[in-house]
Structure 1
Amino acid sequence: METTTAKLLDGKALAAKIHQQLQTQIHQLQAKVGRPPGLAVLMVGDNPASAAYVRNKEKACAKVGIASFGKHFPQETSQQELEAVIAELNEDARVDGILVQLPLPDHLDAVSLLHQIHPDKDADGLHPVNLGRLVRGESGLRSCTPAGVMHLLAEYNIPLRGKNAVVIGRSILVGKPMALMLLEADATVTVAHSRSQNLANITKNADIIIAAVGRPGLINADMVKQGAIVVDVGMNRVTDANGNSRLVGDVDLQSIAGVAEYFTPVPGGVGPMTVAILLQNTFTSYLRATS
Protein backbone atom coordinates (compact mmCIF):
# COMPACT_ATOMS: atom_id res chain seq x y z
CA MET A 1 0.00 0.00 0.00
CA GLU A 2 1.20 3.48 -0.86
CA THR A 3 2.41 5.43 2.19
CA THR A 4 2.47 9.16 2.60
CA THR A 5 3.73 11.61 5.17
CA ALA A 6 1.06 14.16 5.86
CA LYS A 7 1.97 17.78 5.10
CA LEU A 8 1.16 20.63 7.43
CA LEU A 9 -1.59 23.19 6.81
CA ASP A 10 0.15 25.94 8.76
CA GLY A 11 -2.53 28.23 10.20
CA LYS A 12 0.02 30.14 12.26
CA ALA A 13 1.99 31.15 9.16
CA LEU A 14 -1.12 32.13 7.16
CA ALA A 15 -2.51 34.12 10.12
CA ALA A 16 0.79 36.04 10.30
CA LYS A 17 0.49 36.79 6.58
CA ILE A 18 -3.09 38.10 7.04
CA HIS A 19 -1.95 40.22 10.01
CA GLN A 20 0.79 41.73 7.85
CA GLN A 21 -1.64 42.56 5.03
CA LEU A 22 -4.12 44.13 7.47
CA GLN A 23 -1.38 46.15 9.15
CA THR A 24 -0.36 47.61 5.77
CA GLN A 25 -3.95 48.37 4.68
CA ILE A 26 -4.89 49.94 8.03
CA HIS A 27 -1.75 52.07 8.04
CA GLN A 28 -2.58 53.38 4.56
CA LEU A 29 -6.26 54.03 5.28
CA GLN A 30 -6.09 55.44 8.78
CA ALA A 31 -4.67 58.82 7.72
CA LYS A 32 -7.38 59.18 5.07
CA VAL A 33 -10.27 58.04 7.29
CA GLY A 34 -9.08 59.82 10.41
CA ARG A 35 -9.41 56.84 12.75
CA PRO A 36 -8.34 53.19 13.03
CA PRO A 37 -10.80 50.27 12.91
CA GLY A 38 -12.28 49.47 16.35
CA LEU A 39 -13.22 46.15 17.98
CA ALA A 40 -15.11 45.76 21.27
CA VAL A 41 -14.80 42.40 23.05
CA LEU A 42 -17.22 42.02 25.98
CA MET A 43 -16.27 39.56 28.70
CA VAL A 44 -18.28 38.70 31.80
CA GLY A 45 -16.83 36.99 34.89
CA ASP A 46 -13.38 35.57 35.45
CA ASN A 47 -13.14 32.39 33.38
CA PRO A 48 -9.33 31.99 32.99
CA ALA A 49 -9.58 30.46 29.48
CA SER A 50 -11.83 33.33 28.32
CA ALA A 51 -9.44 35.90 29.83
CA ALA A 52 -6.54 34.31 27.90
CA TYR A 53 -8.55 34.35 24.65
CA VAL A 54 -9.50 38.01 25.14
CA ARG A 55 -5.87 39.00 25.85
CA ASN A 56 -4.84 37.13 22.71
CA LYS A 57 -7.45 39.00 20.62
CA GLU A 58 -6.47 42.40 22.05
CA LYS A 59 -2.79 41.68 21.41
CA ALA A 60 -3.60 40.76 17.80
CA CYS A 61 -5.63 43.98 17.43
CA ALA A 62 -2.74 46.10 18.71
CA LYS A 63 -0.34 44.37 16.32
CA VAL A 64 -2.32 45.26 13.18
CA GLY A 65 -3.51 48.71 14.32
CA ILE A 66 -7.09 47.97 15.41
CA ALA A 67 -8.24 49.95 18.47
CA SER A 68 -9.66 47.81 21.31
CA PHE A 69 -12.79 48.94 23.13
CA GLY A 70 -12.93 45.84 25.31
CA LYS A 71 -15.05 45.82 28.43
CA HIS A 72 -14.70 43.38 31.33
CA PHE A 73 -17.81 42.99 33.51
CA PRO A 74 -18.21 41.37 36.92
CA GLN A 75 -19.84 37.92 37.16
CA GLU A 76 -23.16 39.31 38.47
CA THR A 77 -23.73 41.77 35.58
CA SER A 78 -27.35 41.66 34.38
CA GLN A 79 -28.73 40.98 30.92
CA GLN A 80 -30.17 44.52 30.81
CA GLU A 81 -26.78 46.13 31.59
CA LEU A 82 -25.09 44.19 28.79
CA GLU A 83 -27.87 44.98 26.32
CA ALA A 84 -27.48 48.68 27.14
CA VAL A 85 -23.71 48.48 26.51
CA ILE A 86 -24.26 46.72 23.15
CA ALA A 87 -26.80 49.38 22.16
CA GLU A 88 -24.21 52.10 22.90
CA LEU A 89 -21.52 50.27 20.92
CA ASN A 90 -23.92 49.85 17.96
CA GLU A 91 -24.17 53.67 17.84
CA ASP A 92 -20.46 54.34 18.51
CA ALA A 93 -18.85 55.39 15.21
CA ARG A 94 -15.40 54.35 16.48
CA VAL A 95 -16.48 50.71 16.85
CA ASP A 96 -16.67 48.49 13.75
CA GLY A 97 -16.86 45.08 15.40
CA ILE A 98 -18.54 43.79 18.57
CA LEU A 99 -18.30 40.32 20.05
CA VAL A 100 -19.40 38.70 23.30
CA GLN A 101 -16.79 36.27 24.65
CA LEU A 102 -18.34 32.88 25.42
CA PRO A 103 -19.11 31.08 27.66
CA LEU A 104 -21.21 33.49 29.71
CA PRO A 105 -22.37 32.94 33.31
CA ASP A 106 -25.53 30.79 33.49
CA HIS A 107 -27.93 33.64 34.30
CA LEU A 108 -27.22 35.37 30.96
CA ASP A 109 -28.82 34.57 27.59
CA ALA A 110 -26.02 34.54 25.02
CA VAL A 111 -28.34 34.13 22.01
CA SER A 112 -30.44 37.12 22.99
CA LEU A 113 -27.29 39.25 23.42
CA LEU A 114 -26.01 38.19 20.01
CA HIS A 115 -29.31 39.33 18.48
CA GLN A 116 -28.73 42.81 19.95
CA ILE A 117 -25.49 43.31 17.97
CA HIS A 118 -26.01 45.20 14.69
CA PRO A 119 -25.42 42.65 11.87
CA ASP A 120 -22.84 44.97 10.24
CA LYS A 121 -20.83 45.03 13.49
CA ASP A 122 -21.13 41.28 14.10
CA ALA A 123 -17.39 40.50 14.14
CA ASP A 124 -18.05 36.81 14.94
CA GLY A 125 -20.32 36.40 11.89
CA LEU A 126 -22.97 34.61 13.97
CA HIS A 127 -25.96 36.98 13.81
CA PRO A 128 -29.00 35.35 12.13
CA VAL A 129 -28.84 38.01 9.38
CA ASN A 130 -25.24 37.07 8.53
CA LEU A 131 -25.99 33.34 8.70
CA GLY A 132 -28.96 34.02 6.39
CA ARG A 133 -26.67 35.83 3.97
CA LEU A 134 -24.37 32.79 4.01
CA VAL A 135 -27.30 30.44 3.28
CA ARG A 136 -28.32 32.67 0.36
CA GLY A 137 -24.73 33.02 -0.94
CA GLU A 138 -24.80 36.80 -0.37
CA SER A 139 -21.84 38.81 0.88
CA GLY A 140 -21.71 39.40 4.62
CA LEU A 141 -19.58 38.79 7.68
CA ARG A 142 -18.69 35.11 7.93
CA SER A 143 -18.33 32.94 11.02
CA CYS A 144 -14.63 33.17 11.98
CA THR A 145 -13.57 29.54 12.46
CA PRO A 146 -15.12 28.01 9.31
CA ALA A 147 -14.05 31.05 7.25
CA GLY A 148 -10.53 30.51 8.62
CA VAL A 149 -10.64 26.88 7.47
CA MET A 150 -11.73 27.99 3.97
CA HIS A 151 -8.85 30.50 3.79
CA LEU A 152 -6.41 27.79 4.84
CA LEU A 153 -7.64 25.34 2.18
CA ALA A 154 -7.44 28.10 -0.45
CA GLU A 155 -3.89 29.07 0.61
CA TYR A 156 -2.69 25.52 -0.08
CA ASN A 157 -4.65 25.32 -3.38
CA ILE A 158 -6.71 22.38 -2.18
CA PRO A 159 -9.49 21.80 -4.74
CA LEU A 160 -13.02 21.58 -3.30
CA ARG A 161 -15.25 21.43 -6.36
CA GLY A 162 -16.91 18.01 -6.58
CA LYS A 163 -14.95 16.64 -3.61
CA ASN A 164 -16.59 14.63 -0.83
CA ALA A 165 -16.35 16.64 2.38
CA VAL A 166 -17.46 15.34 5.78
CA VAL A 167 -18.06 17.83 8.58
CA ILE A 168 -18.20 16.16 12.00
CA GLY A 169 -20.18 18.43 14.31
CA ARG A 170 -23.31 20.52 13.75
CA SER A 171 -22.84 23.51 16.05
CA ILE A 172 -23.95 26.97 14.95
CA LEU A 173 -20.37 28.15 15.69
CA VAL A 174 -18.58 25.75 13.34
CA GLY A 175 -20.38 22.72 11.93
CA LYS A 176 -23.39 24.30 10.22
CA PRO A 177 -21.63 27.36 8.70
CA MET A 178 -18.70 25.11 7.71
CA ALA A 179 -21.04 22.83 5.74
CA LEU A 180 -22.62 25.84 4.02
CA MET A 181 -19.23 27.32 3.04
CA LEU A 182 -18.09 23.99 1.58
CA LEU A 183 -21.38 23.73 -0.35
CA GLU A 184 -20.80 27.24 -1.67
CA ALA A 185 -17.42 26.01 -2.95
CA ASP A 186 -19.18 23.16 -4.84
CA ALA A 187 -18.12 20.34 -2.51
CA THR A 188 -20.49 17.43 -1.84
CA VAL A 189 -21.10 17.75 1.88
CA THR A 190 -22.10 15.25 4.56
CA VAL A 191 -22.69 16.44 8.13
CA ALA A 192 -22.06 13.79 10.80
CA HIS A 193 -22.74 14.24 14.52
CA SER A 194 -23.16 12.47 17.86
CA ARG A 195 -26.18 10.51 16.62
CA SER A 196 -24.55 9.38 13.34
CA GLN A 197 -24.12 5.63 13.06
CA ASN A 198 -20.90 3.98 11.81
CA LEU A 199 -18.90 7.20 11.66
CA ALA A 200 -15.89 5.39 10.15
CA ASN A 201 -18.02 4.31 7.16
CA ILE A 202 -18.92 7.96 6.55
CA THR A 203 -15.40 9.40 6.94
CA LYS A 204 -13.65 6.62 4.98
CA ASN A 205 -15.12 7.99 1.71
CA ALA A 206 -14.21 11.61 2.43
CA ASP A 207 -11.66 13.60 0.44
CA ILE A 208 -11.83 16.26 3.18
CA ILE A 209 -12.63 15.69 6.86
CA ILE A 210 -13.40 18.61 9.18
CA ALA A 211 -13.51 17.43 12.81
CA ALA A 212 -15.27 19.83 15.18
CA VAL A 213 -16.81 17.93 18.08
CA GLY A 214 -14.50 18.35 21.08
CA ARG A 215 -13.57 14.67 21.55
CA PRO A 216 -9.83 14.01 21.87
CA GLY A 217 -8.43 11.53 19.35
CA LEU A 218 -11.82 10.75 17.79
CA ILE A 219 -10.41 10.46 14.25
CA ASN A 220 -7.71 7.85 13.64
CA ALA A 221 -6.05 6.20 10.63
CA ASP A 222 -8.80 3.57 10.30
CA MET A 223 -11.29 6.34 9.55
CA VAL A 224 -9.24 8.21 6.94
CA LYS A 225 -8.70 7.23 3.32
CA GLN A 226 -5.29 7.51 1.68
CA GLY A 227 -4.56 11.08 0.57
CA ALA A 228 -7.43 12.76 2.46
CA ILE A 229 -7.25 16.29 3.85
CA VAL A 230 -7.88 16.34 7.62
CA VAL A 231 -8.75 19.63 9.34
CA ASP A 232 -8.85 19.50 13.13
CA VAL A 233 -11.02 22.20 14.73
CA GLY A 234 -11.09 20.48 18.14
CA MET A 235 -9.45 22.18 21.14
CA ASN A 236 -9.37 19.84 24.13
CA ARG A 237 -7.25 20.19 27.27
CA VAL A 238 -6.09 16.77 28.50
CA THR A 239 -4.12 15.97 31.65
CA ASP A 240 -1.64 13.08 31.86
CA ALA A 241 -0.92 10.83 34.86
CA ASN A 242 1.68 13.31 36.14
CA GLY A 243 -0.83 16.16 36.17
CA ASN A 244 0.65 17.91 33.11
CA SER A 245 -1.98 19.34 30.78
CA ARG A 246 -1.75 20.03 27.05
CA LEU A 247 -4.00 21.00 24.16
CA VAL A 248 -5.02 18.31 21.70
CA GLY A 249 -7.55 18.20 18.88
CA ASP A 250 -10.20 15.72 17.76
CA VAL A 251 -7.70 13.94 15.50
CA ASP A 252 -5.03 11.42 16.52
CA LEU A 253 -2.30 13.12 14.49
CA GLN A 254 0.32 10.39 14.96
CA SER A 255 -2.14 7.82 13.70
CA ILE A 256 -3.16 9.67 10.53
CA ALA A 257 0.33 10.96 9.61
CA GLY A 258 0.96 8.02 7.27
CA VAL A 259 -2.44 8.22 5.58
CA ALA A 260 -3.57 11.83 5.15
CA GLU A 261 -2.07 14.16 2.56
CA TYR A 262 -2.56 17.34 4.62
CA PHE A 263 -3.48 18.00 8.25
CA THR A 264 -3.81 20.92 10.65
CA PRO A 265 -1.87 20.79 13.94
CA VAL A 266 -3.35 21.60 17.38
CA PRO A 267 -2.34 24.13 18.52
CA GLY A 268 -1.19 26.26 15.55
CA GLY A 269 -3.70 25.21 12.91
CA VAL A 270 -7.24 26.55 12.94
CA GLY A 271 -6.95 28.57 16.19
CA PRO A 272 -4.73 31.38 14.80
CA MET A 273 -6.95 31.53 11.69
CA THR A 274 -10.05 32.18 13.83
CA VAL A 275 -8.42 35.28 15.31
CA ALA A 276 -7.13 36.40 11.88
CA ILE A 277 -10.67 36.26 10.42
CA LEU A 278 -12.03 38.14 13.43
CA LEU A 279 -9.60 40.97 12.57
CA GLN A 280 -10.46 40.65 8.87
CA ASN A 281 -14.20 40.91 9.66
CA THR A 282 -13.57 44.03 11.75
CA PHE A 283 -11.60 45.56 8.87
CA THR A 284 -14.37 44.65 6.40
CA SER A 285 -16.92 46.45 8.63
CA TYR A 286 -14.52 49.43 8.86
CA LEU A 287 -14.31 49.64 5.06
CA ARG A 288 -18.10 49.52 4.79
CA ALA A 289 -18.57 52.18 7.46
CA THR A 290 -15.97 54.60 6.06
CA SER A 291 -16.31 54.25 2.30
Structure 2
Amino acid sequence: MNTDFHHYYQQIRNKQKREALVWSGLMLALYLWSGNIAEFNLKTVLVSAPHFFDYIGQTVPVLHWNVLFADGHTKGSLAYWGYRLNIQLPLIWETIQLAIASTILSAAIAVVLSFVAASNTDSAKWLKFSVRTFVAFLRTMPELAWAVMCVMAFGVGAIPGFIALTLHTLASLTKLFYEAVETASDKPVRGLKSCGAGRLQRIRFALWPQVQPIFASYSFMRLEINFRQSTILGLVGAGGIGQELMTSIKLDRYDQVSITLLMIIIVVSAMDYISGKLRKRIVEGAF
Protein backbone atom coordinates (compact mmCIF):
# COMPACT_ATOMS: atom_id res chain seq x y z
CA MET A 1 0.00 0.00 0.00
CA ASN A 2 2.84 2.38 0.86
CA THR A 3 4.58 1.52 -2.42
CA ASP A 4 1.44 2.31 -4.43
CA PHE A 5 0.99 5.61 -2.61
CA HIS A 6 4.64 6.54 -3.15
CA HIS A 7 4.34 5.71 -6.85
CA TYR A 8 1.15 7.80 -7.16
CA TYR A 9 2.79 10.67 -5.25
CA GLN A 10 5.79 10.63 -7.58
CA GLN A 11 3.51 10.70 -10.62
CA ILE A 12 1.69 13.76 -9.27
CA ARG A 13 4.98 15.47 -8.39
CA ASN A 14 6.45 14.79 -11.84
CA LYS A 15 3.29 16.12 -13.48
CA GLN A 16 3.46 19.30 -11.38
CA LYS A 17 7.12 19.78 -12.28
CA ARG A 18 6.42 19.36 -16.00
CA GLU A 19 3.53 21.83 -15.84
CA ALA A 20 5.67 24.30 -13.91
CA LEU A 21 8.46 24.04 -16.49
CA VAL A 22 6.04 24.41 -19.40
CA TRP A 23 4.30 27.45 -17.94
CA SER A 24 7.59 29.03 -16.88
CA GLY A 25 8.95 28.54 -20.40
CA LEU A 26 5.81 30.07 -21.92
CA MET A 27 5.97 33.06 -19.57
CA LEU A 28 9.67 33.57 -20.34
CA ALA A 29 9.01 33.39 -24.08
CA LEU A 30 6.13 35.85 -23.73
CA TYR A 31 8.32 38.19 -21.66
CA LEU A 32 11.14 38.14 -24.21
CA TRP A 33 8.71 38.57 -27.11
CA SER A 34 6.94 41.53 -25.48
CA GLY A 35 10.33 43.07 -24.62
CA ASN A 36 11.40 42.76 -28.22
CA ILE A 37 8.17 44.36 -29.45
CA ALA A 38 8.58 47.21 -26.93
CA GLU A 39 12.23 47.65 -27.99
CA PHE A 40 13.38 46.94 -24.45
CA ASN A 41 17.16 46.74 -24.31
CA LEU A 42 18.69 45.45 -21.08
CA LYS A 43 22.14 46.65 -22.11
CA THR A 44 20.87 50.22 -22.48
CA VAL A 45 19.29 50.04 -19.03
CA LEU A 46 22.49 48.78 -17.40
CA VAL A 47 24.67 51.34 -19.18
CA SER A 48 22.35 54.27 -18.39
CA ALA A 49 21.53 53.29 -14.79
CA PRO A 50 24.50 55.20 -13.29
CA HIS A 51 23.14 58.44 -14.79
CA PHE A 52 19.99 57.99 -12.73
CA PHE A 53 22.02 57.82 -9.53
CA ASP A 54 24.06 60.81 -10.72
CA TYR A 55 20.84 62.85 -10.86
CA ILE A 56 19.80 61.63 -7.41
CA GLY A 57 23.22 62.67 -6.14
CA GLN A 58 22.79 66.16 -7.58
CA THR A 59 19.53 66.63 -5.65
CA VAL A 60 21.24 65.99 -2.31
CA PRO A 61 21.63 69.42 -0.66
CA VAL A 62 25.06 70.74 0.26
CA LEU A 63 24.93 71.46 3.99
CA HIS A 64 27.81 72.65 6.16
CA TRP A 65 27.78 71.96 9.88
CA ASN A 66 29.43 75.24 10.85
CA VAL A 67 26.66 77.28 9.18
CA LEU A 68 23.85 74.74 9.49
CA PHE A 69 21.62 77.03 11.56
CA ALA A 70 22.60 80.31 9.90
CA ASP A 71 20.11 82.62 8.17
CA GLY A 72 18.59 82.04 4.76
CA HIS A 73 21.25 84.05 2.95
CA THR A 74 24.08 81.67 3.92
CA LYS A 75 24.78 78.79 1.56
CA GLY A 76 24.99 75.45 3.30
CA SER A 77 22.41 76.30 5.98
CA LEU A 78 19.03 74.63 6.51
CA ALA A 79 17.30 77.97 6.06
CA TYR A 80 18.99 78.45 2.67
CA TRP A 81 17.90 74.94 1.61
CA GLY A 82 14.29 75.60 2.64
CA TYR A 83 13.98 79.18 1.47
CA ARG A 84 10.82 78.30 -0.52
CA LEU A 85 9.02 76.56 2.32
CA ASN A 86 6.59 79.47 2.57
CA ILE A 87 5.43 78.48 -0.93
CA GLN A 88 5.84 74.72 -0.69
CA LEU A 89 4.01 74.13 2.58
CA PRO A 90 0.71 75.68 1.38
CA LEU A 91 1.01 73.59 -1.79
CA ILE A 92 1.50 70.43 0.27
CA TRP A 93 -1.58 71.37 2.28
CA GLU A 94 -3.49 71.95 -0.95
CA THR A 95 -2.45 68.50 -2.17
CA ILE A 96 -3.66 66.90 1.07
CA GLN A 97 -6.98 68.74 0.75
CA LEU A 98 -7.35 67.52 -2.84
CA ALA A 99 -6.80 63.92 -1.76
CA ILE A 100 -9.16 64.09 1.22
CA ALA A 101 -11.96 65.96 -0.55
CA SER A 102 -11.93 63.74 -3.64
CA THR A 103 -11.81 60.56 -1.53
CA ILE A 104 -14.69 61.55 0.76
CA LEU A 105 -16.98 62.61 -2.10
CA SER A 106 -16.11 59.58 -4.22
CA ALA A 107 -16.54 57.12 -1.35
CA ALA A 108 -19.95 58.55 -0.43
CA ILE A 109 -21.25 58.23 -4.00
CA ALA A 110 -19.56 54.85 -4.49
CA VAL A 111 -21.37 53.40 -1.47
CA VAL A 112 -24.74 54.17 -3.06
CA LEU A 113 -23.72 53.00 -6.53
CA SER A 114 -22.20 49.78 -5.20
CA PHE A 115 -25.48 48.59 -3.70
CA VAL A 116 -27.21 49.43 -6.97
CA ALA A 117 -24.62 47.58 -9.06
CA ALA A 118 -24.28 44.49 -6.85
CA SER A 119 -25.96 41.36 -8.15
CA ASN A 120 -27.38 40.35 -4.75
CA THR A 121 -29.34 43.52 -3.93
CA ASP A 122 -32.36 42.94 -6.21
CA SER A 123 -31.62 45.96 -8.40
CA ALA A 124 -33.08 46.13 -11.90
CA LYS A 125 -30.84 44.51 -14.48
CA TRP A 126 -30.75 47.59 -16.69
CA LEU A 127 -29.77 49.73 -13.71
CA LYS A 128 -26.94 47.39 -12.67
CA PHE A 129 -25.69 47.27 -16.25
CA SER A 130 -25.81 51.07 -16.56
CA VAL A 131 -23.84 51.66 -13.36
CA ARG A 132 -21.22 49.05 -14.20
CA THR A 133 -20.79 50.41 -17.72
CA PHE A 134 -20.50 53.96 -16.41
CA VAL A 135 -17.79 53.17 -13.84
CA ALA A 136 -15.96 50.98 -16.36
CA PHE A 137 -15.80 53.97 -18.71
CA LEU A 138 -14.48 56.21 -15.93
CA ARG A 139 -11.80 53.64 -15.03
CA THR A 140 -10.68 53.40 -18.64
CA MET A 141 -9.20 56.90 -18.47
CA PRO A 142 -6.29 57.28 -16.02
CA GLU A 143 -6.20 60.22 -13.63
CA LEU A 144 -3.53 61.98 -15.67
CA ALA A 145 -5.67 61.90 -18.82
CA TRP A 146 -8.69 63.24 -16.91
CA ALA A 147 -6.47 65.96 -15.42
CA VAL A 148 -5.21 67.07 -18.85
CA MET A 149 -8.79 67.28 -20.16
CA CYS A 150 -9.97 69.18 -17.07
CA VAL A 151 -7.05 71.62 -17.26
CA MET A 152 -7.98 72.37 -20.86
CA ALA A 153 -11.61 72.90 -19.80
CA PHE A 154 -11.25 74.68 -16.45
CA GLY A 155 -7.73 76.10 -16.56
CA VAL A 156 -4.77 75.60 -14.28
CA GLY A 157 -5.54 75.14 -10.58
CA ALA A 158 -6.94 72.79 -7.97
CA ILE A 159 -10.37 72.29 -9.58
CA PRO A 160 -9.10 70.12 -12.48
CA GLY A 161 -7.14 67.96 -10.04
CA PHE A 162 -10.17 67.54 -7.79
CA ILE A 163 -12.43 66.54 -10.69
CA ALA A 164 -9.88 64.12 -12.15
CA LEU A 165 -9.26 62.39 -8.83
CA THR A 166 -12.97 62.23 -8.01
CA LEU A 167 -13.93 60.63 -11.33
CA HIS A 168 -11.29 57.91 -11.21
CA THR A 169 -11.67 57.27 -7.48
CA LEU A 170 -15.44 56.98 -7.86
CA ALA A 171 -15.00 54.35 -10.57
CA SER A 172 -12.39 52.36 -8.66
CA LEU A 173 -14.20 52.39 -5.32
CA THR A 174 -17.56 51.51 -6.87
CA LYS A 175 -16.08 48.38 -8.43
CA LEU A 176 -14.30 47.38 -5.21
CA PHE A 177 -17.40 48.10 -3.14
CA TYR A 178 -19.92 46.17 -5.23
CA GLU A 179 -17.58 43.19 -5.38
CA ALA A 180 -17.38 43.31 -1.58
CA VAL A 181 -21.19 43.43 -1.37
CA GLU A 182 -21.46 40.41 -3.67
CA THR A 183 -19.13 38.37 -1.45
CA ALA A 184 -21.13 39.12 1.72
CA SER A 185 -23.02 36.25 3.33
CA ASP A 186 -26.63 35.97 2.19
CA LYS A 187 -27.87 34.21 5.33
CA PRO A 188 -28.79 37.45 7.18
CA VAL A 189 -30.45 38.71 3.99
CA ARG A 190 -32.60 35.59 3.69
CA GLY A 191 -33.47 35.77 7.37
CA LEU A 192 -34.66 39.37 7.15
CA LYS A 193 -36.51 38.68 3.91
CA SER A 194 -38.41 35.81 5.53
CA CYS A 195 -39.48 38.24 8.27
CA GLY A 196 -40.91 40.65 5.68
CA ALA A 197 -38.07 43.19 5.64
CA GLY A 198 -37.92 45.50 2.63
CA ARG A 199 -34.97 45.91 0.25
CA LEU A 200 -33.53 48.94 2.03
CA GLN A 201 -33.91 47.26 5.41
CA ARG A 202 -32.04 44.18 4.15
CA ILE A 203 -29.24 46.39 2.88
CA ARG A 204 -29.10 48.42 6.09
CA PHE A 205 -29.22 45.59 8.64
CA ALA A 206 -27.85 42.57 6.75
CA LEU A 207 -25.32 43.74 4.16
CA TRP A 208 -24.03 47.04 5.50
CA PRO A 209 -22.62 45.67 8.82
CA GLN A 210 -20.68 43.05 6.86
CA VAL A 211 -19.14 45.38 4.29
CA GLN A 212 -18.59 48.52 6.38
CA PRO A 213 -15.04 47.57 7.53
CA ILE A 214 -14.12 46.59 3.97
CA PHE A 215 -15.46 49.88 2.60
CA ALA A 216 -13.43 51.81 5.19
CA SER A 217 -10.29 49.85 4.40
CA TYR A 218 -10.60 50.49 0.66
CA SER A 219 -11.36 54.17 1.25
CA PHE A 220 -8.25 54.70 3.39
CA MET A 221 -6.15 52.85 0.84
CA ARG A 222 -7.54 55.08 -1.90
CA LEU A 223 -6.78 58.18 0.18
CA GLU A 224 -3.11 57.26 0.19
CA ILE A 225 -3.20 56.62 -3.55
CA ASN A 226 -4.95 59.91 -4.20
CA PHE A 227 -2.29 61.91 -2.39
CA ARG A 228 0.43 60.35 -4.53
CA GLN A 229 -1.67 60.80 -7.66
CA SER A 230 -2.44 64.44 -6.84
CA THR A 231 1.31 65.02 -6.70
CA ILE A 232 1.61 63.67 -10.24
CA LEU A 233 -1.43 65.63 -11.46
CA GLY A 234 0.30 68.82 -10.42
CA LEU A 235 2.84 68.16 -13.16
CA VAL A 236 0.18 69.01 -15.78
CA GLY A 237 -1.08 72.07 -13.92
CA ALA A 238 -3.83 70.41 -11.88
CA GLY A 239 -2.81 72.06 -8.61
CA GLY A 240 -0.81 70.90 -5.64
CA ILE A 241 2.86 70.38 -4.90
CA GLY A 242 3.42 68.68 -8.26
CA GLN A 243 3.55 72.06 -10.00
CA GLU A 244 6.34 73.19 -7.68
CA LEU A 245 8.21 69.92 -8.25
CA MET A 246 7.96 70.23 -12.04
CA THR A 247 9.11 73.87 -11.93
CA SER A 248 12.15 72.92 -9.84
CA ILE A 249 13.03 70.09 -12.23
CA LYS A 250 12.73 72.31 -15.32
CA LEU A 251 14.87 75.06 -13.77
CA ASP A 252 17.49 72.57 -12.47
CA ARG A 253 16.96 73.70 -8.89
CA TYR A 254 18.20 70.43 -7.50
CA ASP A 255 18.11 71.48 -3.86
CA GLN A 256 14.42 72.35 -4.17
CA VAL A 257 13.69 69.03 -5.90
CA SER A 258 15.13 67.22 -2.88
CA ILE A 259 13.24 69.20 -0.24
CA THR A 260 9.97 68.84 -2.18
CA LEU A 261 10.45 65.08 -2.46
CA LEU A 262 11.34 64.92 1.23
CA MET A 263 8.09 66.66 2.19
CA ILE A 264 6.10 64.33 -0.05
CA ILE A 265 7.73 61.28 1.53
CA ILE A 266 7.03 62.58 5.05
CA VAL A 267 3.36 63.28 4.29
CA VAL A 268 2.85 59.92 2.56
CA SER A 269 4.43 58.12 5.52
CA ALA A 270 2.28 60.05 7.99
CA MET A 271 -0.90 59.37 6.03
CA ASP A 272 -0.01 55.69 5.74
CA TYR A 273 0.52 55.46 9.52
CA ILE A 274 -2.64 57.38 10.46
CA SER A 275 -4.88 55.60 7.97
CA GLY A 276 -3.49 52.24 9.12
CA LYS A 277 -4.40 53.05 12.73
CA LEU A 278 -7.88 54.26 11.79
CA ARG A 279 -8.48 51.25 9.55
CA LYS A 280 -7.48 48.92 12.38
CA ARG A 281 -9.83 50.63 14.84
CA ILE A 282 -12.74 50.44 12.41
CA VAL A 283 -12.13 46.76 11.62
CA GLU A 284 -11.92 45.98 15.34
CA GLY A 285 -15.17 47.86 15.95
CA ALA A 286 -13.63 50.59 18.09
CA PHE A 287 -15.74 53.22 16.25
TM-score (norm 2): 0.24
* Structure ranking higher in helix proportion: 2
Larger radius of gyration: 2
The structure with the largest strand share of the pair is 1
